[in-house]
Structure 1
Amino acid sequence: MNFASVRIITDDLDRLVEFYEKVTGVSAKRPAPVFAEFVLPSCTLAIGHSQTVQLFGAGTARAADNHTVIIEFRVHDVDAEYTRLKPLVDEWVQEPTTMPWGNRSALLRDPDGNLVNLFAPVTKEALERFSGRN
């Protein structure tokens, strides 16, 4: 089994696509008006309009109702990304901080309220743990 992607369901696809294009620096692929994908070297982030949920069956997902998942992006320099994105982000949950497990991390909310973590391993142990990963 291979992990393929994470999909966010939203009522405002264009707004969320524009936000993640700015965060990732990657243009979204739009194979349909109600669906977009960010194909990154290590993963794919998909965004679907809430209309797409009907294709999977009623009640399978609700837009902007996530309280358990954090979308994480490994970055080269957390502090530089924080500075770059600070004017674009409405809510910062945590300014750059070094976590007990050795990652430097900044936590924000996207326009739908989903938590997004920008992190970089910075301690020797964390760097070793991520060695060989994209």
Structure 2
Amino acid sequence: MTIALQYVHVTVNDVDEALTFYRDGLGLEVRNDVGSGGFRWITLGSQSQAGLDIVLSEPHAGRSKADGDALQELLTKGVLPMIVFRTDDLDETFERVRVSGAEVLQEPLDQPWGPRDCAFRDPSGNMVRISQEPKA
């Protein structure tokens, strides 16, 4: 038996604004763009990692009003779980994301526990970390 993670959902306030960050800044490609019931979901993925996609959606998309309101409150507070990406060239990735206008939280830094990483906030306030494994 095999099992693999297929989708990770990222809640955002504005799908188009988030698309600019994830597609243009991080270099992910749009795999699907679906509208339903006045809401929109966009699926993005990496050419280098087939089989794992990110789905961007608004807090109320596919949820009850109460659940959407609760999720919106958590998003506004900036307390949703962070997203961590891995790259083979942190400096190049950092610069591409930085020039896209993303809020820099941490420039590339060698961490005492091993990886070299940096951090940004996406346009909705989600923390996005990008790491590179230490060179052997």
Distance 2:95 2:20 in 1: 19
Q: Which of 97-106 and 31-40 deviates more? A: 31-40
User: How many residues get paired?
Assistant: 123
Structure 1 position 47, deviation (Å): 0.6
Any conservation in 1 of the 2:8–2:53 contact (CA below 8 Å)?
A: yes
Any conservation in 2 of the 1:89–1:108 contact (CA below 8 Å)?
A: no
Structure 1 position 68, deviation (Å): 4.5
Structure 1 position 84, deviation (Å): 2.2
Indicate the percent of aligned positions where both proteins have the same amino acid. 23
Residues 104 and 62 (structure 1), Cα distance of their counterparts in 2 relative to 1, 3 Å cut: same
Structure 1 position 120, deviation (Å): 0.4
Any conservation in 1 of the 2:26–2:97 contact (CA below 8 Å)?
A: no
Among residues 3, 12, 15, which one is paired with 1:13 in the alignment? 15
Deviations 1:48-88 (A, max 9, x none): 12331426x73165233441512111111111212222222
Structure 1 position 15, deviation (Å): 0.8
Higher percent of residues as strand? 2
Structure 2 runs not aligned, ≥5 long: none
TM-score (norm 2): 0.76
Any conservation in 1 of the 2:103–2:120 contact (CA below 8 Å)?
A: yes
Q: Are positions 1:37 and 2:37 aligned together? A: no
Q: Which of 105-114 and 9-18 deviates more? A: 9-18
Among residues 83, 87, 96, which one is paired with 1:75 in the alignment? 87
Distance 2:81 2:60 in 1: 21
- Give the superposed CA RMSD: 2.2
Deviations 1:12-44 (A, max 9, x none): 111111210013323223341210111331621
Any conservation in 2 of the 1:89–1:110 contact (CA below 8 Å)?
A: no
Residues 29 and 106 (structure 1), Cα distance of their counterparts in 2 relative to 1, 3 Å cut: same
Any conservation in 1 of the 2:110–2:116 contact (CA below 8 Å)?
A: yes
In structure 2, the residue matched to 1:98 is: 110
Tell me which stretches of 4 or more aligned residues in structure 1 moved more than 4 Å. none
Structure 1 runs not aligned, ≥5 long: 125-134
TM-score (norm 1): 0.77
